[in-house]
Amino acid sequence: MEKRVFRSPTAAAVWWVWVLFAAGNLIDIAVQGRDRSSLVAAFVLIAVTGVLYAGAQRPRLIAESDELVIVNPLREYRIGWAAITSVDTTDLVRVRCEWPGSGPGGEPGRKTFYAWAAGTSRRRQHLAQIREQRRSRSGRAPAASVFGARDGAGASRGGPVRPGAVEAGDADKVVAALRERADEARSAAPETPAGPPSSTWSRPALAAVGVPLLALLIAALA
């Protein structure tokens, strides 16, 4: 299976518009600015750029052959397909995981992750629910999915992919694609055990946000 990357085109557009705006203003400050207020203004631009890098440029979902990678503003999560029990949307894409416990009690591990890469509005979710109710009344049958068998709560917890589910918005298209990829991965390697997800802090993102903010604070108080 080929690698697929999901991210918000709106966030990417906002990032590049800001980069052009900030670059133009920094050039202007470098040419004309000679006082302390110009220095503070430059650090403000750099600090906002760092925040937007973390919040708009970084977030994405990466569907690889053996795992799902959730890249959020400051952290990254790696989840094997076998551990994913459901994928759905709230305001963000929500991924629920479960894996066998290794402790004395043998209790399974459970965790829920939220991906910043794609989101949906409450109004859009409400419209999607109305469409789904209409389909149910018309007698349309849902498509089969591994998630439907493993997660009896149905669509509200990432149940079967329904024929019109991708019409509600970008987040729903991402959810449908991730469910399909999870089904493919499970079919290709049905004996793969579910393991615990891993998480790491992004040092570049922490530096991009923290260093300019610290510099701005020092410049403002100096």
pLDDT digits (tens, 9 = 90+) for 72-110: 999 999 999 999 999 998 888 999 999 987 656 678 889
The residues with which 92 forms a beta bridge, in sequence order, are 119
Amino acid identity of 200? T
Quick check: 15 pLDDT over 70?
yes
Residues 37 and 129 in one domain: no
Burial bucket for residue 206 (CB in 10 Å: 0-12, 13-18, 19+) = middle
For 39-45, what is the mean pLDDT? Answer: 93
Percent of the chain with pLDDT over 70: 76
The pLDDT value recorded for residue 103 is: 58
Burial bucket for residue 144 (CB in 10 Å: 0-12, 13-18, 19+) = exposed
Residues 85 and 185 in one domain: yes
Helices (H), the chain: 9-32, 36-52, 122-138, 146-150, 170-188, 203-221
For 168-183, what is the mean pLDDT? Answer: 82
The pLDDT value recorded for residue 211 is: 95
Which range marks the domain in which residue 194 is found? 65-198
Pairing of strands 60-63, 4-6: antiparallel
Residues 140 and 185 in one domain: yes
Residues 45 and 83 in one domain: no
Confidence of residue 51 (pLDDT cuts 50, 70, 90): very high
Residues 194 and 207 in one domain: no
Dihedral sign for Cα atoms in the order 82, 83, 86, 91: negative
Residues 159 and 144 in one domain: yes
Q: Look at the chain and report how many structural domains it folds into.
A: 2
Residues 22 and 82 in one domain: no
Residues 41 and 72 in one domain: no
User: Which secondary structure element, helix H or strand E, spans residue 89, and what is its range?
Assistant: strand 84-89
Residues 207 and 161 in one domain: no
The pLDDT value recorded for residue 119 is: 67
Confidence of residue 124 (pLDDT cuts 50, 70, 90): low
- Give the residue with greater pLDDT, 34 vs 87: 87
Residues 185 and 210 in one domain: no
Residues 124 and 217 in one domain: no
Residues 76 and 139 in one domain: yes
Percent of the chain with pLDDT over 90: 49
For 175-195, what is the mean pLDDT? Answer: 87
